[in-house]
Amino acid sequence: MAFAAEKAQTQESLLERASPFILLMALFGIPGAGCVALVLLVQIPRFIYGQSVPLLLAAEIGGLIAVFVLLLVLRACLALPYAPVGFYRNVLDFLAMARWHPSVKAALIGLIVLPPTWFIHADKYRRVTMLWTMGRRALTLSDFQSGLDSIAVVYQLALTGGVPLLFALHMLSRWKPKNRVLPWLLVPLLFVFTAIAVVLIVTMTH
């Protein structure tokens, strides 16, 4: 028991010493790896129907794994007694998805759920019907494949426009911690401004 306690204390001490470097690495690593994963997001649906590029798919998977690992390590560092405070801590909490205000969590769920819901509704459930009636054979049809790609692109646009707004909402909830109503009032506006950002991104890239 004493040996186990000493070992745990040593590991915590090493983590504490390396914490400033780890925090800095997470500060740049999580957004960087997340951007790689977001840019290559279309490789996931293409893998589903068997037309992904192996190198790009590996980079996509690597980016997702890097985000997950850095997030876990960042959370461990933020749980230490001498973790940073103030503005820096608020930024790191956002990256670690830690101590989020409930309104920020709700907004994130909306950014995840609304894009495919909107696409399926705009598609009038046509591709859902194809999958339901044809099963895996639908994956061989170019029309269905383009639909899967389109969902990935919709996610790319929504997250590109929405994540900065999500960060702003998170920082506002930390700036006004006693105001319980304002963050919730801003959630619908976040979706509105995300839609505007998507339109602007599409306009500038075409």
Count H helices and E strands in the chain, helices first. 8, 0
Query: Which residues are within 8 A (CB) of 104 and not within 5 positions of it... i.e. 6 or more apart?
Result: 166, 169, 170, 173, 183
Please give the angle made by the CA atoms of 169, 174 and 176, to the nearest 5 degrees.
95
Instruction: Please check whether residue 144 is in contact with residue 138, taking contact to mean a CB–CB distance below 8 angstroms.
Output: yes
Alpha carbon of 181 to those of 69, 162, 167: distances in Å?
Answer: 34, 21, 18
* Residues 27, 78 within the same domain: yes
* Residues 53, 110 within the same domain: no
* Residues 144, 189 within the same domain: yes
* Residues 2, 94 within the same domain: yes
Please give the pLDDT value at position 124. Answer: 86
* Residues 205, 137 within the same domain: yes
* Residues 65, 145 within the same domain: no
**Domain total in the chain:** 2
* Residues 115, 166 within the same domain: yes
Query: Which residues are within 8 A (CB) of 161 and not within 5 positions of it... i.e. 6 or more apart?
Result: 193, 194, 195, 196, 197, 198, 200, 201
Please report which helix (H) or strand (E) contains residue 118, including its range: helix 102-122
* Residues 89, 104 within the same domain: no
| Among candidate residues 73, 40, 79, 74, the one with its CA nearest the CA of residue 57 | 40
Query: Which residues are within 8 A (CB) of 99 and not within 5 positions of it... i.e. 6 or more apart?
Result: 93
Domain closes at, from 99, 122, 144? 99
* Residues 107, 177 within the same domain: yes
What is the phi-psi region of residue 50: left when phi exceeds 0, alpha when psi lies from -120 to 50, beta otherwise? left
Instruction: Please check whether residue 95 is in contact with residue 68, taking contact to mean a CB–CB distance below 8 angstroms.
Output: no
Per-residue pLDDT tens listing for the chain (206 residues) = 554 555 555 656 776 778 889 999 999 999 999 999 999 999 999 999 999 999 999 999 999 999 999 999 999 999 888 889 999 999 999 999 999 999 999 999 999 999 999 999 888 888 889 889 898 899 999 999 999 999 999 999 999 999 999 999 999 998 877 777 889 999 999 999 999 999 999 888 87
* Residues 56, 152 within the same domain: no
Please give the pLDDT value at position 136. Answer: 87
Cα torsion 162, 166, 169, 175: sign: negative
Domain closes at, from 76, 99, 122? 99
Owning domain of residue 19: 1-99
* Residues 47, 108 within the same domain: no
Please give the pLDDT value at position 175. Answer: 87
Please give the pLDDT value at position 66. Answer: 97
* Residues 82, 11 within the same domain: yes
